[in-house]
Structure 1
Amino acid sequence: MNKNIVRTIGVMTLTLHAFAFADVVNGDFESWSNGVPNSWDTIDSGIEVSQSNSIVYNGDSAAAITVNTTTQGSTDFRQSVDVVSGESYTFSVWVYHTEGGVSARLYVDGYQGYSTPSNTGQWQELSYAYTASSTSSIDIGLRFYDQSSFDGSELVYVDLFSPTDSTSEEPGGETCESNSGSFSLVTDNYGSETSWTITNSANAVEYQGSGYESNTTYSESVCLTDDTYTLTIQDSYGDGICCSFGSGSYSLTFDNVTVASGGEFTSSEATTFTLGNSGDNGGGDGSGGNNDTSDYYSNASGMTGYSLKTALYNIIKGHSSQSYGDLWTFYVSYGLDSYYENDGSILDIYSELPSSNDPYSFTSSSDQCGNYSGEGDCYNREHSFPRSWFGGAVAPMNTDIHHVFPTDGYVNSKRSSYPYGEVGSSTFTSQNGSLLGAAVSGLGYSGTVFEPIDEFKGDIARAYFYMATRYEDVISSWESNSSYGDAVLNGTSSQVFESWFLTMLLNWHQQDPVSQKEIDRNEAAYSFQSNRNPFIDNPGYVNDIWGN
């Protein structure tokens, strides 16, 4: 990890430049201890700060700041820097809004300019030119202000507070001309037990690390040529790095795509990944993707029935839970229409017309909800499996990308938390033909249901089979959380669904086979949160588990 080199360079830079040039110490947020960014000594009670290796402006990490209060005086994030009388400085910082419900205000020896919170899903710079009136120390940092759309908790990313005391270059000034990535490690209570290696296809070690302190965050840049590699992380005691003795974790990312991550294992965990052109990710004929996932599902090989379901649960559980704001970012990269109009707009299952032009379209990021009064105003995050059914904004279900889709905000509100079903008499029809109304006679349920168009019924069914499997350990307790959930869930962890609903899902799964869109989204979800939907990769699993 070159820890001694990194620390020596940091101390030398601080000694030479901090006083003369008002350097912001750890302004690039590359140095962390016990989950806290080093040198940022004012972190108010109304905010929580954690390290981000996914949304980054510069270098390997940024600060992910969650604002949890409307009390503005409890949201300060600051440190002190030394300035010299008569010297001029330009302080700047980059911020990234996820929802638009809070603004960031730059603080440089007083309150300065605000960010534009509506510019979500993109980096924006705040800066201020300052001339010191005396040789002294001044406070610099940020304060956060709630807006009318603030829902009580919102994530803002912060990076490269300048002038900073470090640069993004590797020691020695080397740059990466191949695949530039970042390995991040958070150690548990016994950091010395953890070690890791990255080996290439010839089993030669490219990178390795060991000898870590406990409860400390490390980050190392890696540079790899096109090849197939294996990241192996080991714990000498055999209890992994999470969650019995601390909350350790690790991740390896390239171009903001996570290729390996985790924390819960025993003695070791190995992940193989390929950099460069690895061929077609295709499929689309209803048989699932062409990627060879046999190793991923090897522990489920040869099984059927509910034993297969439990084996799949053990494979896909413990995924890397993301923030609610990270869903917006996923949609910007992976929620776009490359399949119908192919126009790069948000692919919304409640407005998409597969065989003709859509009635309206949403531009990613800029058309996020927000307020709405009708169709076409904005898009939001639709929990296809309503979150009231699992108890509200509860992690990790609330941000599990496998069941949360971008949809028209107004239509989403119409769907509410009603069960999916088949409508006999509609009270509302969206512009793409999605229906709300009384269930059709013979469905087995007589209440209000919401029916998506045929093109996406299989997508919904496979999302529900995923939820039944991923949350096998807790889903039997969800039946009483909501009357609508009670109509769908049967209170077991095996069949999970009431017979009427299961029969309908099986029909939808059969009638609307796996599409290329689902295959691509499943691959992106795996990179995003490190688990897969087995029923997209292997559609036959549905019949193997629930067919009888």
Structure 2
Amino acid sequence: MKTQLTLFLSLLVFSLSAQIPEGYYETTAGLDGEELKAELHEIINDHVVYTYTSSNTDTWDILKQTDKDPEDGSYVIGFYSGFKMDASEEYNSGNGWNREHVWAKSRGSLGTNRGPGTDVHNLRAADISTNSARNNRNFDEATVQYIDESGQYQGETESYTSSSDWIWEPRDEVKGDVARILFYMATRYEGTSGEPDLELREELLSDDSNDPYHARLSVLLEWHEADPVDEIERERNDVIYSFQENRNPFIDHPEFVGLIWGGEEADDMVCCTWAAAKGLASIGFRL
């Protein structure tokens, strides 16, 4: 009973604070597994696409809003490093910052092509040298702290890597963010309309693999549960929605992760069906 009440209250508080359009997830009622994943794909598919770099609004412009320093909007925060970086510099011939593809752009040959390569849900501000160190490494638990010793922004980070395995562990503050971004990408891109079919897997990929997979699924599930959605992540989702007109469902409804990929959340959700959730509409619960 305590677990049921805790889940109910957390869902209620979250639904009241997030700016989810009325009825956005209504068609997911009663679904789980591949059926839920397929329905979420239909909801978030065909978003408004922006170019990587343009004289008009581009991904630089959007990231200056989504990844800005909450204390000073003239800076953006490095996703893996936590470094404060001058937002106005952009790349600046290697002296500024750049745009990290959390789902590595080589995994499925996304590149910087309009669409999967410029989807801002997958892009984060990063300092150039830390971004280079992450490369296309798999996400997993690691042991060697990454210390950035080159480029415009330098110093100790709270991210980790490995001298033997092709892996990267982001700082604790963004581990859940990483997981939910990858869950989004594996749902948004299902091989339709000539797009790649992205999937999460357990096996680690080599650095030269262009297969449309990313790892490690079990670790991402752990990070999702250990680092819950926070207000910064919710606000970022709202800003991207104002441009792309699609949302990351796993920020709006973190319980979708357990319903699709399993994990501890799936056990909690047994006691809280979507039929019951629909009955909460009168007190603010949004599907």
Q: Check whether TM > 0.5.
A: yes
- What residue number does 1:115 align with? none
User: What does residue 224 of structure 2 align with?
Assistant: 509
Indicate the residue corresponding to 2:77 in structure 1.
Answer: 347
Q: Say if 2:97 and 2:126, in contact at 8 Å, map to a contact too.
A: yes
Q: Secondary structure at the match of 2:61?
A: helix
Deviation at 1:290, TM superposition (A): 3.1
- Relative distance call for 1:318 and 1:308 in structure 2 (3 A) is same
Q: Name 1:436's counterpart in structure 2.
A: 161
In the TM superposition, 1:147-296 aligns within 5 A as 287=14, 289-296=17-24
Aligned residue number for residue 419 of structure 1: 138
Matched residue SS, 1:433: strand
**2:77 is the alignment partner of 1:362:** no
Relative to total residues, which structure has the larger helix share, 1 or 2?
2
Match of 1:306 among 34, 43, 47: 34
Q: State whether residues 455 and 512 of structure 1, in contact with CA within 8 Å, keep that contact through their aligned partners in structure 2.
A: yes
Give the number of the structure with larger relative contact order, counting CA–CA contacts within 8 Å between residues 6 or more apart.
Answer: 2
Is 1:457 matched with 2:172? no
Q: Measured at CA, do residues 478 and 307 of structure 1 come closer, stay the same or move farther in structure 2, by a change above 3 Å?
A: closer
Aligned residue number for residue 320 of structure 1: 48
Which of 88, 110, 113 is equivalent to 1:394? 113
- Once the two structures are TM-superposed, the CA of residue 298 in structure 1 deviates from its matched residue by 1.2
SS of 2:190's equivalent in the other structure is coil
Q: Secondary structure of the equivalent of 1:395? A: coil
Q: CA deviation digits over 1:156-208, x for unaligned, max 9?
A: xxxxxxxxxxxxxxxxxxxxxxxxxxxxxxxxxxxxxxxxxxxxxxxxxxxxx
8 Å CA contact 1:337–1:343 kept in 2: the answer is yes
Aligned pairs for 1:17-96 within 5 A? none
Mapped partners of 1:434, 1:521: distance in 2: 22
Give the Cα separation in 2 of the matches to 1:294 and 1:379.
Answer: 37
TM-score by length of 2: 0.73
The whole-number CA distance in structure 2 between the counterparts of 1:284 and 1:435 is 32
What letter corresponds to residue 188 of structure 2 in structure 1? R
Q: What secondary structure sits across from 1:394 in the alignment?
A: coil
Greater strand percent: which structure? 1
Q: Does 1:404 align with 2:123?
A: yes
Whether the 8 Å CA contact 1:286–1:515 is kept in 2: the answer is no
> What is the CA-CA distance between 1:502 and the residue it aligns to?
1.2
| Residues in 1 aligned to 2:19 and 2:61: alpha-carbon distance in whole angstroms | 25
TM-score w.r.t. length of structure 1:
0.39
1:509 Cα deviation after fit = 0.3
Partner Cα distance (1:405, 1:303) in 2: 31
Alpha-carbon contact 2:44-2:247 (below 8 Å) kept: yes
Maintained 8 Å contact 1:300/1:311: yes
Structure 2 gap segments, 5+ residues each: 1-9, 149-155, 264-287
2: distance between equivalents of 1:458 and 1:544? 17
Aligned to 1:398, what secondary structure does the other structure show?
coil
Aligned-residue offset at 1:489: 5.9
Amino acid at match of 1:401: V
- Structure 1 residues 419 and 285 mapped into 2: Cα distance closer, same or farther (>3 Å)? farther
1:522 to 2:232 alignment = no
One-letter code aligned to 1:523: D
**Gapped regions of structure 1 (runs ≥ 5):** 1-282, 353-359, 440-446, 491-496
**How many pairs does the alignment contain?**
233
Of 68, 80, 85, the match for 1:336: 68
Provide Cα deviations, 1:197-233, integer angstroms capped at 9, x if missing partner.
xxxxxxxxxxxxxxxxxxxxxxxxxxxxxxxxxxxxx
